[in-house]
Amino acid sequence: METFLDKVNERIGNVPIQRCYHCRKCTAGCPVTFAMDYNIDTIIKMIQMGKEDEVLNSSTIWLCASCETCITRCPNEVDIARMMDVLREMAIESGVRIKEKNILKFHEAFLSSVKMGGRINEPLMIVDYKLKSGDYFSDMAMGISMFMKGKLTLFSPRTKDMKSVKKIFEETKK
């Protein structure tokens, strides 16, 4: 039977994560460790132990900022940044309760804005995110000030050939 570890390795398609010898250099260099529920090397251990639910339910996989410091410094070329991407994809697919809902909602708002216009329309994307997350009031003053400075324009030019953009979204959907 394919284990959780096998599934993760297969999707990363790079060196297998059990190359990790737990030196914890990744965790030491990660800028977001302080906010995570499990350390990065702990996540690797948990994958090896088959703790699928705990890993996919963790906040760690959503808080990873994709800064790629971990892979750059890992002595064993364990691609943790890619592993985090894979774990997020798996969490979405498996329908587990997502620990950091607002982060996923931000990504959804971002991508649906691209799907709609080919390019990000920042004000509309932010409104969409606010509606999705229920986080209405933070950044309001800042948003108004940016609007006044002409940085947030409501009608920015969009991609004309939207058929090709829609097709990309359709055909990469799993």
Which strand (E) or helix (H) includes residue 25? Answer: helix 25-29
How far CA 32 is from CA of 75, 99, 125, in Å, comes to 20, 16, 25
Smallest gap from residue 158 Cβ to another protein (A) = 9
Pick the binder of ligand SF4 from 3, 35, 53, 66 (CB under 6 A). 66
Pick the binder of ligand SF4 from 12, 46, 84, 109 (CB under 6 A). 84
Phi, psi of 68 (to 5 degrees): 65, 15
CA dist 122 and 106 (Å) reads 12
Task: Please report whether residue 18 would count as binding ligand SF4 according to CB under 6 A.
Answer: no
Torsion 102-92-83-13 (CA) sign: negative
Choose the binding region for ligand SF4 from 5-13, 74-82, 135-143, 149-157 (rule: CB under 6 A). Answer: 74-82
| Site residues (vs another protein, CB under 8 A) | 31-32, 34-35, 63, 65-69, 71-72, 81, 84-86, 88-89, 92, 100, 102-107, 110-111, 114, 118-120, 122, 126, 129, 133, 138-139, 142, 145-146, 149-153, 156-157, 159-161, 164-165, 167-169, 171-174
Smallest gap from residue 72 Cβ to ligand SF4 (A) = 8
Task: Please report whether residue 65 would count as binding ligand SF4 according to CB under 6 A.
Answer: yes
CA dist 35 and 61 (Å) reads 11
Smallest gap from residue 100 Cβ to another protein (A) = 7
How many residues interact with ligand SF4 (rule CB under 6 A)?
Answer: 28
Rounded to 10 deg, the angle between the 162-172 and 101-117 helix axes is 140
- The answer to whether 159 and 165 are in contact (CB under 8 A) is yes
